[in-house]
Structure 1
Amino acid sequence: MTRFGASPDLPRLRGTDAQDSDLKTPLTPLELVLRAFAVHPARTATQHGRQAQSYAELAGRTARLVTLLRDHGLTPGTHALLVSPNTPDALLAFHAVPLAGGVIVPLNPAFSDEALRFLAGHADPVVALVDTACLPRVGERLAQLEIPVLEIGDASGLSARLGGVLPAALELPAALDEDSPISINYTSGTTSDPKGVMVTHRNAFVNLSNLLYHLNLRPGSVYLHALPLAHGNGWGSAWAVTAAGGTHVTLTNEGPEAVRAALRGGAVTHLFASPAILTPLTDTAAPLHLSAPVRLLVAGTSPSPRLLGNLRAQGFEVLHGYGLTETNAVMTVNEGDHLTPQGHPMMYAGQLRVVSEDGGPVPADGFTPGEIVIRGNQVMKGYYKNRAATRRALDGGWLHTGDLAVVHADGRVDILDRASDLLNIGGQSVSSAQIEAVLYRHPSVREAVVVAGHPAPGQTCAVAFVTLHPGAGVRGEELLRFCSPHLPEHALPRRVHLVPELPKTASGKVLKHVLRAQAGENLAPERRAEPVRPTRR
């Protein structure tokens, strides 16, 4: 009888001399990628506009790109840079680079030119895969570094180049160590203290297993890539969707309207997104109603309860998660009726604690804040070429996140703030998230962010920046009056700035340091509200 995976090249079994180590294979998403290639050849692997490719076609292109990468100097353990928007060629790179034995280093094209050029050198690549549209931004720097470039994307002619090479054998790289990196993901475009998170094969395998379980990814699932693949490997979707035999849908145009249009088509079954992507989908002026349920994982920043409720009303099956790039993206999830607390660790994610300054657990009273610390199989190997930052982050065998949270009686964790964002007003600690939650109760508020202002040396107050839903005419003074019954006097914002938009990072996180700088500009001691213009980046 022929068994799945049988090969005529396997050695003949003799007696019982095999050691346990001989029977183990490394935990890696690549094993499940190879399985998908073998089991689902006729299924649609990628969809980009009207262009689709099957798993058989993806497997063939992957095998040829493995050859091409090796011809360009990629050897086991060396780095391949990827600078590209979400395209089928970018997904191809996520499959081919690790199967060639390399480590993929995706950089977000939304990073500044300066950041891209700096990180291109810091990452020590031996080859770079660059979308044709991104090449003018990094091509000169890569040439200075003498890094060979493979152009990718619709206008690159990559398919013709692949047609001229022989396919490599699709198999796990020889002597693969599950604790070696599969990717290096930079947490931002900063050049001051670069933190390239080394995600191991084991990290990625456990993350993939969690996504398959909690998101119910299956053959035939249709996943919409609304997140940059460079952001935590698309929160692990780059390999998880393939492992499930699902379809990767990439957008020809980026932005909320493209996401809205794709969802209206009715084929999408799964979506991962941050509140920055989702908030425009709930605008009352342009309501979105799904023709079929979409399984949605929300993470990145804490969404308001109203946003989560609106998404549910629109037909999304909402899971609320929490995690960091250092935990290989999402680490906890809340699947119950109470979606605001971020819930419990995912099935295989590991351990999460909320601890006080002395390292002991905080009481499970839903009130006492502490720092989130994490350990488990999704925690990074460390930061690439940054031992000092690695030691600080992994002190005592736990990942110190710098995030503050409270623990509820049932063990669910509720994220409050970064430790640096906690406001000390009149000697009392105030969570900006709690002030924001009150602002979100007002029906006109679309987004709200609270930062510290300093009206005088040694004094601190809360300052709010608010965007409104289209057509809303509320003024800052009205929002202050609305907050007054729900907050103690010391926690009331000193001023509310009404702004057309909030400054954000490439991954959709609000740039609070920009808002803090604006909060300090001409902050008068009396409480009043005036509109200001946000800084654009």
Structure 2
Amino acid sequence: MGTLFDEAAAAEARTVVRLDRPFDIAPRAGTRWTVPELAALVRATAARLAHAGVRPGDRVAVVKDNHWDYDLLACAVVRLGAVPAQLSARLDPADLVTLLHRLRPAALVTTSAVLARCRDAAGIAPLLITVDTAVPGAAHLAALDATGPATPVRRPVDEPLIVHHTSGTTGVPKLVVHSTRTLVHKLARFEAVRYPGIGLRRDDVLCNASAYGHGRTFCWTAVVMAMAPAGIVVLTGDDPDTADPLLRGCPPTVVEALPATYVRLRPLTTRLDNPFRRVRQYISTYDAVHPPALRAYLTASHHAHPVWMQGWGQTETGPLTFRFHTRRSALAPDAASTARRLGRPVPGRTRLRVVDPDTLRPVPRGRPGLLLVRTAALALGYVGEQERWDAKRVGDWWSTGDVGVHHRDGSVSILDREADTLPGLSCLRTEDLLEHLIPQALECVIIGAPDGDPLPVVVTADGRLAPDAWQRAVEDLPALPRPTVLAWDEVPRTGTGKVRRAALAERLTGAAVTGTGRWT
């Protein structure tokens, strides 16, 4: 990964990258980049980090505003033989300090805004580097020498390559260590194939609207540089009015975005000159996308047969299952009730088993239980929490912490995270049904109250919901109390836009966990 952009440039990749705002590590260099220019930026950044004192084997934490240069910084760190750790700037300050203490980095690359919000972070790393403005006691990245040597240092394929943190929906995120073998050889190499119909093509324009400090985009970066599409459009936020002119000026044919970002950009699908008219494929990971969003985007495309590829996986494992949605399946009457069917295990790469969470004995197909997986792409471990990692190993199997069903046709359904389970109710399925029945809902969340009853939360654009809209929605559902109605920004979220269920539950009820939490 340290020479990824050099190799793409040497292969004469003609990809043109367009950004919605300049890179934080190159704020005056504009928003249009070629592959050779990106390669030069990675080399210069590596030289600056070496000048600051980064050495082979060091851990280097990166905490900054959301942008694709998270991965450029990571590639520069890898080039020096060091190990980058990408941490979201959206982390709660206390959680960020906890992760930095576990990581014990030799260097922290960050911004003045992060340091102002989280003052305790500054003293954890011996070397402090800021990417935006000069700060007393810190080196300023732009002021460091970019012309010095940055000779690539190649580490063994089974040693740590990079550290990412999990989403943290149920508490403090975990720090996951991947190697070159697990992340590049097993995950990126599998994806970097021109599969008929779904593989990237050289004439594709790929739009990515992601959380670039998380594990998916580092793998994605390896794939797109190897596949060399015609264009890449990078969105760093989810404001429709900001995204609209860039997308209309460079209409994508493939879109990958966070589920929460799809929700936020959905108003663009109804505009006369909608920017998704050329899309042949949508891709989503991290979380399920609800049927109303699927229908909106698939019908917005003017392509004859657009598809939606939905992946289920975890930071520790990479993708485990895939499912494909079409216009027909998204418009089907049972779309809301089958939305949590996440496809089948990846053939030849992933095995799946469902067990009783108490006895760990296998349960028959069609019955719910704890989902275990086996994959050669499993990460190396958790930084600072080896006992927790070992506790999630069940022989040769890995516990996902999800409760689900392995159906007789081989497909997998997710019912809930084990830590979020409620007796006799699938929170996730109920959320899908509610979103289907309440058109003005941006999102619906079911959490547990201290007395064990479900507590519904409806998220709308203005934080309001007519009482009769709720009554109509739940008249054929199991009894649910009246919901708490919130606006989007009132809901605590992870860096990937997921609802921090434990934090939301604690805010509304004073209790954070309903399941045992044993498998998180």
When normalised by structure 2's length, the TM-score is: 0.80
User: What does the per-residue CA deviation read over 1:1-35, in whole Å, with 9 as the maximum and x for residues that have no partner?
Assistant: xxxxxxxxxxxxxxxxxxxxxxxxxxxx5575553
Q: Secondary structure at the match of 1:430?
A: coil
> After the TM superposition, which of the residue ranges 259-268 and 96-105 deviates more from structure 2?
259-268
1:440 to 425, 435, 441: 435
CA shift for structure 1 position 154:
13
Kindly indicate whether residue 486 of structure 2 is the aligned counterpart of residue 499 of structure 1: yes
Q: What aligned pairs does 1:239-388 form with structure 2 within 5 A after superposition?
A: 239-246=222-229, 247-251=231-235, 255-283=239-267, 287=271, 288=274, 290-293=276-279, 295-315=281-301, 317-328=307-318, 330-337=319-326, 338=329, 340=339, 341-346=341-346, 349-357=349-357, 358-365=359-366, 368-388=367-387
The answer to whether the Cα contact below 8 Å between 1:120 and 1:142 also exists between their aligned partners in 2 is no
CA shift for structure 1 position 347:
5.7
> After the TM superposition, which of the residue ranges 301-310 and 344-353 deviates more from structure 2?
344-353
CA shift for structure 1 position 518:
5.5
User: What does the per-residue CA deviation read over 1:259-282, in whole Å, with 9 as the maximum and x for residues that have no partner?
Assistant: 444333343333322321111333
CA shift for structure 1 position 116:
3.1
Supply the AA of the counterpart residue of 2:284. Answer: V
CA, structure 1 residues 248+405, in 2 after alignment: closer, same or farther (shift >3 Å)? same
Supply the AA of the counterpart residue of 2:58. Answer: T
Kindly indicate whether residue 199 of structure 2 is the aligned counterpart of residue 216 of structure 1: yes
Kindly indicate whether residue 229 of structure 2 is the aligned counterpart of residue 228 of structure 1: no
> After the TM superposition, which of the residue ranges 217-226 and 402-411 deviates more from structure 2?
217-226
CA, structure 1 residues 72+121, in 2 after alignment: closer, same or farther (shift >3 Å)? farther
CA shift for structure 1 position 112:
2.7
Q: Secondary structure at the match of 1:495?
A: coil
CA shift for structure 1 position 202:
1.4
Supply the AA of the counterpart residue of 1:184. Answer: V
The answer to whether the Cα contact below 8 Å between 2:177 and 2:381 also exists between their aligned partners in 1 is yes
Q: What percent of counterpart residues are identical?
A: 24
CA distance in 2, matches of 1:90, 1:518: 31
Match of 1:37 in 2: 9
CA shift for structure 1 position 289:
5.3
User: What does the per-residue CA deviation read over 1:131-169, in whole Å, with 9 as the maximum and x for residues that have no partner?
Assistant: 455454467743564214253699998567454x23534
CA distance in 2, matches of 1:185, 1:349: 22
Q: Secondary structure at the match of 1:441?
A: helix
Supply the AA of the counterpart residue of 2:323. Answer: N
Match of 2:25 in 1: none
CA, structure 1 residues 91+74, in 2 after alignment: closer, same or farther (shift >3 Å)? same
CA, structure 1 residues 130+268, in 2 after alignment: closer, same or farther (shift >3 Å)? farther
CA distance in 1, matches of 2:16, 2:149: 21
Q: What aligned pairs does 1:1-400 form with structure 2 within 5 A after superposition?
A: 29=1, 33-40=5-12, 42-45=14-17, 47=19, 49=21, 50-87=30-67, 89-131=69-111, 133-137=113-117, 141-143=121-123, 145-149=125-129, 151=131, 158=141, 161-163=144-146, 165-169=147-151, 171=152, 173-174=153-154, 176-187=155-166, 195-205=174-184, 206-213=186-193, 216-219=199-202, 221-234=204-217, 236-246=219-229, 247-251=231-235, 255-283=239-267, 287=271, 288=274, 290-293=276-279, 295-315=281-301, 317-328=307-318, 330-337=319-326, 338=329, 340=339, 341-346=341-346, 349-357=349-357, 358-365=359-366, 368-400=367-399
Gaps of 5+ in 1: 1-28, 522-537
CA shift for structure 1 position 381:
0.7
The answer to whether the Cα contact below 8 Å between 2:169 and 2:499 also exists between their aligned partners in 1 is no
Gaps of 5+ in 2: 22-29, 331-338, 511-520
CA distance in 1, matches of 2:72, 2:2: 13
Match of 1:452 in 2: 448
Structure with bigger gyration radius: 1
The answer to whether the Cα contact below 8 Å between 1:355 and 1:372 also exists between their aligned partners in 2 is yes
User: What does the per-residue CA deviation read over 1:152-202, in whole Å, with 9 as the maximum and x for residues that have no partner?
Assistant: 699998567454x23534x5x34x221222111122579986621001111
CA shift for structure 1 position 48:
5.1
CA RMSD across the alignment? 3.4
User: What does the per-residue CA deviation read over 1:377-401, in whole Å, with 9 as the maximum and x for residues that have no partner?
Assistant: 2211110121111111223222211
> After the TM superposition, which of the residue ranges 90-99 and 111-120 deviates more from structure 2?
111-120
When normalised by structure 1's length, the TM-score is: 0.77
CA shift for structure 1 position 514:
3.8
CA shift for structure 1 position 235:
6.4
Q: Secondary structure at the match of 1:446?
A: strand
CA distance in 2, matches of 1:227, 1:152: 21
2:500 to 501, 506, 511: 511
> After the TM superposition, which of the residue ranges 465-474 and 384-393 deviates more from structure 2?
465-474
CA, structure 1 residues 249+124, in 2 after alignment: closer, same or farther (shift >3 Å)? farther
CA, structure 1 residues 280+86, in 2 after alignment: closer, same or farther (shift >3 Å)? closer
CA, structure 1 residues 270+74, in 2 after alignment: closer, same or farther (shift >3 Å)? farther
CA shift for structure 1 position 81:
1.4
Supply the AA of the counterpart residue of 1:305. Answer: P
CA shift for structure 1 position 111:
1.4
User: What does the per-residue CA deviation read over 1:426-483, in whole Å, with 9 as the maximum and x for residues that have no partner?
Assistant: xxx221123223212213433111122345xxxx3222111246798631x5424432
CA shift for structure 1 position 52:
2.1
The answer to whether the Cα contact below 8 Å between 1:344 and 1:413 also exists between their aligned partners in 2 is yes
Match of 2:453 in 1: 461
CA, structure 1 residues 221+34, in 2 after alignment: closer, same or farther (shift >3 Å)? farther
The answer to whether the Cα contact below 8 Å between 2:239 and 2:264 also exists between their aligned partners in 1 is no
Aligned pairs, number:
473
The answer to whether the Cα contact below 8 Å between 1:69 and 1:127 also exists between their aligned partners in 2 is no
Q: Secondary structure at the match of 1:94?
A: helix
CA, structure 1 residues 419+67, in 2 after alignment: closer, same or farther (shift >3 Å)? same
CA distance in 2, matches of 1:431, 1:350: 25
Q: Secondary structure at the match of 1:101?
A: coil
Kindly indicate whether residue 477 of structure 2 is the aligned counterpart of residue 482 of structure 1: no
CA, structure 1 residues 46+293, in 2 after alignment: closer, same or farther (shift >3 Å)? closer
Match of 2:27 in 1: none
Supply the AA of the counterpart residue of 1:200. Answer: S
CA distance in 2, matches of 1:445, 1:254: 17
The answer to whether the Cα contact below 8 Å between 1:451 and 1:519 also exists between their aligned partners in 2 is no
